[in-house]
Structure 1
Amino acid sequence: MKHFMRKYTLLYMMASAAALFMTSCGEDRSHEYYELINPKIWLYDTMEENYLFYDELPDRESLESNKSFFKKPDEFVHAVASRKDQKNGVYFSHVDSVFTSRTKSEIPSFGFEGVVVRDGNTGKYFIQIIYVQKESPAAEVGLQRGDCITEANGYNITSSNYNRFIFQPTQAYTYKVARYNEATQMADTLMVDMPAPTYVDEPSVYIAKTINVGGKKVFYLMYNAFEAEETESLQQALTQGLAESPDDVILDLRYNPGGSVSTAITLNTFLAPASAMNQTCAKLIFNDKIKEDVTYKFDPSLLNGAQNASFNHLYVLTTSNTASASELVINCLRPYLGEKLLQVGENTFGKNVAQSKITNEAYPLIEFWLTTAYVSNAEGNYDYYTNGLQADYKISESYGYPLGELGTASDPLTAAALYHIANGAFPKTETEGETTPESRSSKHNTVRFNSIAAKPKLTKIQ
């Protein structure tokens, strides 16, 4: 009876609102009203049944009274989402355009990722490039990782103009760039004419190479997104790299915000020991209305005839932007690799849930990615939302200082892994109260925006 009265009240309230809307100015506008609210009603109905945190949804009456059903679809989902379905301003459940592709930039760009840094000594802002996409406008003019952009068309970079000049450009610009000169240990000043922005390919496999360290072979793979449509390129990179029988593997996920669960399972299958084949890799734990969990196994057919990796250690390089499917990789390999898996860098983001794509033919432009499951490893562990996955050896990139070339000893995160490979232990870190001039100065620099942090954190159930 209570449930009936609740629905009756809601229908009355919606009918009243509809009556006002439909008779505005003596015009029958009922079709506009229902076109406006029906997609949100479908989203809510879907969440009531499939949402992992369905029991924390606001009731319909409150949503009607505060006019939530009149919001845009993505805003509506954000308005009703559980606190467990968001973190650090990032919402996990979300609505995408059906045209979204993660393998090409969604808007014209210059083809680089970067951070907006405020210099604590001068108060000035600059953009430091953290990597450049190949065959992009930025690569064409020779911009490099570590370069600092201080001006665009004669204007200083500020906290209010960096998007226009750097991350959402609409025209060509002339940049003033500071580049560290290792020989002089000073910054050289360059003027760079950046061509007009364009749509840039963003391949997931950024670097795949073999490094020689003291007579040992090390396979280094920098992987920046788990894109289902690029699984084959991942398999090719792994097959070629592991065919050289490396002694150790460095998997660089520092800038990887996640992606497809199935692609993460493919990566794990290559890196797991042969004894793990056909064993549980990951479990998806759904709400109690669905009552059916899903198990992903290490599938030897994904190897395409290749052999599983056999190595001394797997070093996974991470930052606080390592999230979602990247965390699945680490968490789900841990039961099978134990101490052979060493996480180097920062603690990860801490996203332990997955999203399912739900669509409705009535609303063809809405692609609803709803949080439907926890992501667990074979031991039942998915408790890393609060603190992320903890690094075994902690080290961070120092923005505002030379970053070093990725995949080389000049990069601090890679260098720590290479040091362990050569010496059997990580380098000594600064003890409490003991600092260097660089570490003292770096505390003055504040990161105001990180383009990697702004990317969606995805664990997609395809």
Structure 2
Amino acid sequence: MKNLKLLFILFFISLITVGCFEDLDDNPISTKDLNDFVWKGLNRYYLYKDNVPDLADDRFTASEYETFLNSFTAPEDCFESLMYQRQTIDRFSWITDNYIELQQQLNGTTYNNGMEFGLVRFSSTSNDIFAYVRYVLPNTDAENKGIQRGMIFNAVNGVSLNLENYRQLLSPNNYTINLATYNDNGTPEIEDDFVVPTNTSVNLTKSPYTENPIFIKQVLQVADQNVGYLMYNGFTRDFDSQLNDTFNYFQSQNIQNLVLDLRYNSGGSVNTAILLSSMITGQFTGQTFATQQWNSDIQSQLDPNALIYTFTNNDDGTPLNSLNLGKVYVLTSKSTASASELVINCLNPYIEVIQIGTATTGKYQASITLYDSPDFSGQNINPTHTYAMQPLVLKTLNAVGNTDYIDGLYPNFPAKETYGNLGTLGDPDETLLAIALQHIVDTGKMSLQPFSNLELVGDSKDFTLTKNRMYIDGK
């Protein structure tokens, strides 16, 4: 798509293999040189450069810059020192010491045991948490060992999960989960709910896995209407053709309504978000989908027309299968982020978007991968290390200028999954899907479930490099 190619800013990610590198031990890079890469990359591209005094072009004399670089013992420390309002505004920029793994994950490949889960605590005053299985990926260790949606576990390797230890316990490629049951004590209130350990444990092993983000596609017959249901779990460019095929299927079934389930979708490619939105609609080709806002230096150098994403009717020449809908139902949770939020926000000015679930994450910014190369692209990368950065470089505004939804996008109909009774994804009786179908049948007369205030504190995608990532690419 022509409007995605921002000349010198957007670049193709090169495919790099380990074999093309020199022995890093033979040619070690100094921490000062790594810090220099960090500062120069952020000075050029960081969205919030104007808000960080140490990133100003005239901030340092040569000797002061040398002192600044030498003041950090690790590039991660230098990177963090240059972030803007880390706890609120920029929660999403990061640096990695292994961009080979990052490139694999951008293509949808992670080390995965197949168990996708959420992590929950009962109250803001408790450190104890439990996990619930959201879904299980096909042909994985979790599927082979009988893990199913709705299972509960509150310990790993015999150690109870809490806010301080869950990352350490769930990060290894092999661990054992200790299963439990959720007891609501026979009441709708959660104050008396508790989790009961069982004597059952399951050992799980991760292996390289490429996830198809199209988890469920089906058509439901509801009140003489054909309702399409799509559970879509990641905006992955390598699966765009399969996404287009899915909408061809919906077209062939003459669906009148679409339920788009993004509750577990933490984001991905901006280009894929545009394609999905254009498949849902189709009547807005060439109109503004979103506008980009970069830091003041880059913004001043760009043609204003290059800052506009538009709805499209093709993917690099392949016609899109578009539904021309005037309304879409979107299921969301706190795990719904970045490119998922982009779809919701940018469709809102054009069609009726009925959001069901909980508020989303609140990520309206996009990033690019910066490598240690002369122009920060994936070409001619410094062979002495594998560091790369993923800083926020732009924020998106929809056609009427809405952005900065730091607290997330709020649902029209608030509802949460019931952890003690999750139901089956795609089943008309599953909590969130049932609300959407009820709205379709009863034209807005809703009978909602009690709203639980159990706090979601994380999920299985926390253990990947690409969670909550909305990225731009050269395609």
Q: TM-score range by the shorter chain?
A: 0.7 to 0.9
Is contact 2:285–2:310 with CA below 8 Å preserved after alignment? yes
| Structure 1 match to 2:4 | none
Q: Aligned partners of 1:124 and 1:48: how far apart in 2? A: 41
Alpha-carbon spacing, 1:288–1:172, altered in 2? closer, same or farther (3 Å): closer
Query: How do 1:361-440 residues align onto structure 2 when only pairs under 5 Å count?
Result: 361-364=380-383, 365-384=386-405, 386-399=406-419, 401-429=420-448
Q: Please tell me the residue identity of whatever aligns with 1:216.
A: Q
Identify the match of residue 144 of structure 1 among 120, 144, 148. Answer: 148
CA change 1:177–1:330 in 2 (3 A) is same
Change (3 A) 1:89 1:396: farther
Aligned partner of 1:204 in structure 2 is: 213
Give the letter for the 1:300 counterpart: N
Structure 1 segment 25-424 matched on structure 2, within 5 A: 35-59=30-54, 70-83=72-85, 87=88, 90-95=91-96, 97-100=99-102, 101-102=104-105, 106-107=110-111, 109-118=112-121, 126-150=130-154, 162-163=166-167, 167-171=170-174, 173=176, 175-178=178-181, 191=200, 193-194=202-203, 196-274=205-283, 276-290=284-298, 291=300, 292=302, 293=304, 294-302=307-315, 304-311=318-325, 313-337=327-351, 340-359=352-371, 360=373, 361-364=380-383, 365-384=386-405, 386-399=406-419, 401-424=420-443
Amino acid corresponding to residue 41 of structure 1 in structure 2 = D
Larger Rg over CA atoms? 1
Q: In structure 2, how many angstroms separate the alpha carbons of the residues matched to 1:424 and 1:336?
A: 20
Alignment TM-score, normalising by the size of structure 2: 0.75
Give the equivalent residue in structure 2 for 1:25: none
> How far apart in 2 are the matches of 1:150 and 1:99?
29
Residue identity matched to 1:236: D
Counterpart-to-counterpart distance in 1, 2:213 and 2:254: 23
* 1:116 Cα offset (Å): 3.5
What secondary structure does 2:348 align onto?
helix
Q: Tell me, what secondary structure is at the counterpart of 1:70?
A: coil
* Counterpart secondary structure, 1:219: strand
RMSD (Å) for aligned C-alpha atoms: 3.4
**Using the alignment, how far apart are the partners of 2:72 and 2:142 within structure 1?**
42
CA distance in 2, matches of 1:410, 1:119: 25
Following TM superposition, by how much is the alpha carbon of 1:129 offset from its aligned partner in structure 2, in angstroms?
0.9
Larger RCO (CA within 8 A; separation ≥ 6): 2
Kept in 2: contact 1:260–1:460 (CA 8 A) = yes
Q: Helix, strand or coil: the match of 1:91?
A: coil
Q: In the superposition, relative to structure 1, how do residues 63 and 344 fare at CA in structure 2: closer, same or farther (>3 Å)?
A: farther
Deviation at 1:138, TM superposition (A): 1.0
Deviation at 1:139, TM superposition (A): 0.9
Relative to structure 1, the CA distance from residue 268 to residue 171 in structure 2 (aligned partners, 3 Å threshold; closer, same or farther) is closer
- Residue 137 (structure 1) shift: 1.0
Identity %: 27
Q: Output one character per residue of 1:396-443: Cα deviation in whole Å (capped at 9) or x when no partner.
A: 2233x211112223322111111101110152347xxxxx7xx6xx55
CA distance in structure 2 between the aligned counterparts of 1:157 and 1:272, rounded to whole angstroms? 44
Asked if structure 2 preserves the Cα contact closer than 8 Å seen for 1:246 and 1:311, the reply is no
Contact 1:52/1:371, CA 8 A, preserved across alignment:
yes
Question: Structure 2 unaligned runs (5+)?
Answer: 1-26, 184-194, 374-379
- Rounded to whole Å, the distance in 2 between the matches of 1:164 and 1:235 is 39
TM-score, length basis structure 1: 0.77
Residue 133 of structure 1 deviates from its aligned partner by: 1.2
Question: In structure 1, what is the Cα distance between the partners aligned to 2:165 and 2:34?
Answer: 36
Kindly state the Cα deviation for residue 58 of structure 1 after the two structures are TM-superposed. 3.9
The code of the aligned residue for 2:83 comes to A
CA distance in 1, matches of 2:159, 2:404: 47
CA distance in 2, matches of 1:71, 1:206: 44
Quick one: which amino acid aligns to residue 457 of structure 1? Answer: N
Q: Is the 8 A contact 1:163 1:169 kept in 2?
A: no
Establish whether residue 458 from structure 1 lines up as the match of residue 458 from structure 2: no
2:17 alignment partner in structure 1: none
- The 3 A distance-change label for structure 1 pair 39 and 205 is same
Distance 2:155 2:44 in 1: 52
Separation in 1, partners of 2:99, 2:77: 14
Provide the aligned length of Structure 1 versus Structure 2. 409
Cα distance change on mapping 1:174 and 1:457 into 2, 3 Å = closer
